[in-house]
Structure 1
Amino acid sequence: MNSKSFKKVNEETINKILNENQNFLYTSKNSSIKYLFKLPYGLVISIYKTNTILLQGEQINEFANKYFLKTENNKNNPTLIKKIIELPNIGCDEVGVGDFFGPLITCCAFVEKDFMQKYSSLIKEIVDSKKIKDSKIINLFEKIKDKVTWEIYVLDNSNYNKAYNIYKNTHKLKAICHNQSLKKLFKNNVNLKNKQIIMDQFVDEKNYYKYLQDQKVVINNIYFETKAESKYISVACASIISRYHFLKEIKKLEREYQVKLPLGASNYVKNYVNKYKIEKKSEVEKFTKLHFNSKI
């Protein structure tokens, strides 16, 4: 089994890992381990009380890069210079990955070359949707919806659960959904086919295309970068648009099934999940991601 360890990881990084992977948190029998995560694609993460992080299994480098983890040997190496992509371009992001309730939604958004000049007063508001209060997402969506060209793809909970039972891999589901939203964009906007695409990286390029081997049409010409939603206006727009539609879908599901669907994957949310698995047994798969660990 592949493995790699990282010593003296700061608390901010550990808390970020904890917050973003709550649904994969398990209890460890090793008293030295503070947090144990088992991700769907075969990666086991052990965070020790000494702030050492041990990664075992698949996609170690991808996870380490996502959280900027560095070993003692390479921590002093100069940072790699990332590719700089100017407008116009297409940004891609997704939402719903870490939520027990609601669908997985991907979005791609094309931003024109003169966007920043035309809408200079709006630029400061367009940031990663995770940094924007949900109460402001709707207002911001209304401001940008007609200023960019975009498409979304919604994988509802019923189909999400069926697909996960087949693939057992959330990264593959995300790749398929991103490919679907890009196909919709190019089908409805043929003139955009040669534009550069930027995707907020959740997996490396090689594995992304590997996950799409069984798809009839695969969109290429994609540049992958971590934290792209904080670096590219198009990806930030995609983040906001997908978040808006996710919140809209949550409200729709709440009305349809007469339930309360809190966001995220905290113990508070897990209490609702476990309640609905009993009280809404015949319907729970229609608004819940069932492969998440709901043990408290």
Structure 2
Amino acid sequence: MGQSVIKLDKQKMKKLVNYYTPYRSSKKPPYSVMVATINGCKITAYESGKVMFQGDTHADEAAKWGEVSGKSKEQSKSKAKPNFLDQAHIGSDEAGTGDYFGPITVAAVYATERQQELLRELGVKDSKTLKDPTIRKIVKDVLQTDIIYSSLTLNNEKYNQLQRKGWTQGRMKAWMHHHAIENIIKKSEGKADYEGILVDQFCEPEIFFKHVKATRSTPRQDLSFMTKAESYSIPVAAASMIARYRFLSEMNKLSKLVGFDLQKGASKIVDQQIKRIVKSKGEPFLDQIAKVHFANTKKAR
């Protein structure tokens, strides 16, 4: 079972405990202040300020609160860089996983060495270091190049249906990464050779393969995984930007649907917006625009 560990100050620890209160367990180990389980992830908060996240979605939950400290199993596996980063390869990344409103989007990109140089000149880099207007501008230029790419969107209604069937967010992401990469390979048949495939790692490779098998697909065995891969691979960075671009486009559509700009993330502002939407359109309407299993739904009630 994968795990991540973070260290929080008193103020952030208080916010974390409040956030997971609806999912708390009555049993807790010595020196802990809370144990909760959500989305297949067990969260244990300790008096020392350390918080341990365990399970398929540990990386996603930990990322909501801060940088991972120490070395988790997947971090140690991801330490070695693949030897094809400066050669033609495929990269994939996703967006929207920690946002209450909006879908999950995944993109995969194939780029040759020449194309990678062009992407760098256009400003492609880790999307987390760029503001949304800049991402929009750069991606519009990127989509005019001759790179091969694929982008997938899991809308909120389908997301909620799968979640109710027992799918974790980790399984949904693995399913989408798998198909985005398969799309790239089909598009590039006879046109291009790739030296490797790099996935921005959100779970241990064994868990990724297990997730893909659970969707009745056959997982590829030629994948490499790295945490923060978008910092090392231009194709992954381009994929992260395209995924973010698609997510922002979908958020614009949903904002027009509700009549005001929806807030990204899962903050208190989101809670206020949920109340406003429920009051005007009813709670079932959230199924069309939100990941309703997030704790924000219960808080808004």
Q: Measure the CA separation in 2 of the matches of 1:101 and 1:205.
A: 28
| Alignment CA distance shift 1:164-1:59 (3 Å) | closer
2:201 corresponds to 1:204 = no
Over residues 5-43 of structure 1, what are the superposed CA-to-partner deviations in whole Å (9 max), with x where a residue is unaligned?
A: 969x476xx97x999xx7x9313799x868876441232
**How many residue pairs end up in the alignment?**
279
- The normalised TM-score by structure 1 is 0.79
| Alignment CA distance shift 1:4-1:140 (3 Å) | closer
AA aligned to 1:51 is G
AA aligned to 2:211 is Y
Name stretches of at least 5 consecutive residues in structure 2 with no aligned partner: none
2:294 corresponds to 1:292 = yes
Match of 1:115 in 2: 115
Q: Do the aligned residues in 2 keep the contact of 1:201 with 1:224 (CA within 8 Å)?
A: yes
AA aligned to 1:226 is T
Match of 2:39 in 1: 40
AA aligned to 2:289 is F
| Alignment CA distance shift 1:4-1:194 (3 Å) | closer
- Pairing of 1:20-59 with structure 2 (within 5 A): 25-27=19-21, 38-46=37-45, 48=46, 50-55=48-53, 57-58=54-55
AA aligned to 1:247 is L
Task: Decide which structure has greater helix share.
Answer: 2
* Segment of structure 1 superposing worse, 194-203 or 103-112: 194-203
Identity of aligned residues (%): 23
2:285 to 257, 266, 283: 283
**C-alpha deviation, 1:241, in angstroms:** 0.5
Q: Do the aligned residues in 1 keep the contact of 2:99 with 2:266 (CA within 8 Å)?
A: yes
Secondary structure class of the residue paired with 2:203: coil
Q: Measure the CA separation in 2 of the matches of 1:3 and 1:218.
A: 20
Q: Measure the CA separation in 1 of the matches of 2:61 and 2:259.
A: 41
Match of 2:97 in 1: 97
2:132 corresponds to 1:134 = yes
Q: Do the aligned residues in 1 keep the contact of 2:201 with 2:225 (CA within 8 Å)?
A: yes
Q: Do the aligned residues in 2 keep the contact of 1:43 with 1:59 (CA within 8 Å)?
A: no
Q: Measure the CA separation in 1 of the matches of 2:96 and 2:61.
A: 22
- The normalised TM-score by structure 2 is 0.78
Q: Measure the CA separation in 2 of the matches of 1:63 and 1:245.
A: 20
Task: Compute the RMSD of aligned alpha carbons.
Answer: 3.7
Over residues 184-209 of structure 1, what are the superposed CA-to-partner deviations in whole Å (9 max), with x where a residue is unaligned?
A: 22333324575511011001111101
Name stretches of at least 5 consecutive residues in structure 1 with no aligned partner: none
**C-alpha deviation, 1:161, in angstroms:** 0.4
**C-alpha deviation, 1:287, in angstroms:** 0.7
Q: Measure the CA separation in 1 of the matches of 2:42 and 2:229.
A: 23
* Segment of structure 1 superposing worse, 62-71 or 278-287: 62-71
* Segment of structure 1 superposing worse, 108-117 or 171-180: 108-117
Secondary structure class of the residue paired with 1:206: helix
Q: Measure the CA separation in 2 of the matches of 1:229 and 1:117.
A: 15
